[in-house]
Structure 1
């Protein structure tokens, strides 16, 4: 493999990213959503790149683009390399798609050099990870994992089109959805390359990282009831100010998250009646709390809930808690992490490990096979934003790391 110009392949991947960035429902930004004409155009273009890399391609029953590079042994298991091809509105150019394209570049290396591994490689470009159009995330990988929920058929987009109708309009048969599911007995593992979406690797001056776990997230909406009153006539000790209770809760969330070494965010807060001269009688805020350790996350949340309830009790307020999301953490397979660490050491790179605070398709695939991830450094840790940026040199290292991992796995 020494004669391969990995930097040229990395340049090609960056050019591919630029080409996909032009496939958008909006003329001035990247907006590419599930089961839209843009999704279909994206699948067609990436399928051509897969075919040029010696792969057989097809679109599965969930609209995911699939490509296969056969192994030496037709009875051997399959390694899945995947990420997503959809985006959020006004997205960056690398979230999700970089992982699909790096995988294609690696297979192109093998194909050009007549290298066949003992196992088959399937590359999947999942059609929906972000959940932008229908509000439920990981639809593509859930279908492949065989965990599709029939209730999703009734989900509707902002134009009132149901998910079921969108399938039909895309040329898919909703009754055939189960055929997208993979048999766990046929799978070797799942490996995903993804931009970090955070600042840790850049802060450590490292191009690549090994993901140890994907954080489990819980989300809550908290309604605090107080009593509205005149801002000029109600003495301070007699007030039941719901917004003050919520504000103390915000500080509480931050302090307890630091104490337990988890991440927690209050991303939304509202109060009413909302007049400058009225004491707020009602406030609502949200909490998003995450950790790679579900037990630690839940302990932190229990303390937040207890202490906020005590604050409300002392201030004659009432807090009502509603859980609106709960996803368990996913731990990456130790044996693949050890393989990744060995590869990075062989490349004279530090095998740095870190947790993913963001969700990924690997979370869904963990239901049917061992999973692992490589993170690639991104400038400023910026993601879900047009300013997403990666370097050619880092992409070249990602190609080398993935190629070496697959060959070491073959041994």
Structure 2
């Protein structure tokens, strides 16, 4: 078992770096606050007996050699945050990996496989609007073109890397091979575990986001002088589409659909809108289901356009494939959960994680711990000390079992 007091103390200590007046956390990639957090995590890694280094893009890596010449087991998450974020998102996963390795060291348990605990650079994408930067580099997916992306001050990722002492010209050296599998522990950021009354759960997969922008073009006219039967109102058409999107998504067990942005022009109180634009975020762990939902939404939108003599244009903004967690790793996680004598709950992740970048490269597995009220990306984000310990104990048990395979 792990040392829950040490784990909890480190969570609180790390949360002081970048702390906001609202008791939230601001730690954005390649900033002084994020660097200070990494240096604190480096200290924890060294206390756990890990050999610590930074790679070319700034991933912080704590390594432990194995007793045999076998592929490496990766454990990771991140310490960067969204604006005014919480203290558990990402950080709990990194600190749990460190605690597991320190507990094994103190118990005199040596693993057959080498292990690397990684604090990935910039998972959230807050500063540059481009997330999963560190895990992209490890997977070999980060390009030199990506490094030209700029923040709101016009500073590129490349320039930010150089400012912190990293080497963008050696980007390729961050890529890892000879990897057995990847494990990640994360807060759920939802309410499923809480509704089931359990502290820890097995993740079946990570839903891939598909983002669409819908433009509905009607005719702007005088609100008082245009009879209802003669209007080409794009807002009414968009409203029908949005209602149908909710209905269609609700017909699938794990699919979600969100209209998160809506704008209309010209925007006068006495003017029928001429153009409406809104976004759609579609997610499901099964790509065929997500794509089927997309087709149904497109068909409905086209039909509304024809029925109302209104132009409808749908643009794809982003399409990311979902990731299914390894059945073999899931089985081990489920077995480890059952050993805590609590019900085994398996659930999908609607949010994205670093694990997504390793799809098709090597097996991945994820462990969720309960989030109070499902709140995340918020200073009120909270996971109890008991739940954090339960998650860490499952991680330790899972690692020991996978190391013997």
TM-score (norm 1): 0.96
Cα distance in 2, alignment partners of residues 14 and 237 from structure 1: 64
Decide whether the 8 Å contact of 1:145 with 1:367 is kept in 2: no
What is the 5 A alignment of 1:49-60?
49-60=44-55
Q: Which 10-residue stretch deviates more, 23-32 or 110-119?
A: 23-32
State whether structure 2 residue 323 is matched by structure 1 residue 330: yes
Decide whether the 8 Å contact of 1:82 with 1:100 is kept in 2: yes
Cα distance in 2, alignment partners of residues 220 and 293 from structure 1: 18
Decide whether the 8 Å contact of 2:120 with 2:135 is kept in 1: yes
Q: Secondary structure at the match of 2:145?
A: helix
Cα distance in 2, alignment partners of residues 188 and 175 from structure 1: 28
Match of 2:336 among 339, 343, 347: 343
Match of 1:85 among 46, 60, 79: 79
State whether structure 2 residue 101 is matched by structure 1 residue 101: no
> By how many angstroms is 1:26 displaced?
5.0
State whether structure 2 residue 155 is matched by structure 1 residue 161: yes
Tell me the equivalent position of 1:246: 238
Tell me the equivalent position of 2:15: 21
> By how many angstroms is 1:27 displaced?
5.4
Q: Secondary structure at the match of 1:35?
A: coil
> By how many angstroms is 1:177 displaced?
0.9
Tell me the equivalent position of 2:118: 124
> By how many angstroms is 1:216 displaced?
1.4
Q: Secondary structure at the match of 1:362?
A: helix
Q: Secondary structure at the match of 1:114?
A: coil
Cα distance in 2, alignment partners of residues 371 and 227 from structure 1: 51
Decide whether the 8 Å contact of 1:215 with 1:356 is kept in 2: yes
Cα distance in 2, alignment partners of residues 151 and 349 from structure 1: 48
Match of 2:193 among 186, 201, 204: 201
> By how many angstroms is 1:260 displaced?
3.0
Cα distance in 2, alignment partners of residues 55 and 251 from structure 1: 53
RMSD: 1.2
Superimposed CA distance per residue, residues 169-219 of structure 1 (whole angstroms, 9 cap, x where no aligned partner): 010111111101001xx1110000000000000000011110011001100
Match of 1:223 among 189, 212, 215: 215
Q: Secondary structure at the match of 1:229?
A: coil
> By how many angstroms is 1:144 displaced?
0.6
> By how many angstroms is 1:25 displaced?
7.6
Q: Secondary structure at the match of 1:287?
A: strand
Superimposed CA distance per residue, residues 37-64 of structure 1 (whole angstroms, 9 cap, x where no aligned partner): 1121111110111111111000111101
Cα distance in 1, alignment partners of residues 312 and 298 from structure 2: 9
Cα distance in 2, alignment partners of residues 210 and 145 from structure 1: 23
What is the 5 A alignment of 1:264-343?
264-343=257-336
Tell me the equivalent position of 2:224: 232
Decide whether the 8 Å contact of 2:257 with 2:281 is kept in 1: yes
Match of 2:40 among 37, 45, 55: 45
Superimposed CA distance per residue, residues 296-318 of structure 1 (whole angstroms, 9 cap, x where no aligned partner): 11111111111111112111110
Q: Unaligned 5+ residue runs, structure 1? A: none
State whether structure 2 residue 381 is matched by structure 1 residue 388: yes
> By how many angstroms is 1:384 displaced?
0.7
Match of 2:134 among 121, 128, 140: 140
Decide whether the 8 Å contact of 2:104 with 2:110 is kept in 1: yes
Cα distance in 2, alignment partners of residues 131 and 308 from structure 1: 31
Decide whether the 8 Å contact of 1:146 with 1:181 is kept in 2: yes
Cα distance in 2, alignment partners of residues 322 and 69 from structure 1: 47
Decide whether the 8 Å contact of 1:252 with 1:308 is kept in 2: no
State whether structure 2 residue 55 is matched by structure 1 residue 66: no
Cα distance in 1, alignment partners of residues 310 and 402 from structure 2: 59
Decide whether the 8 Å contact of 1:77 with 1:119 is kept in 2: yes
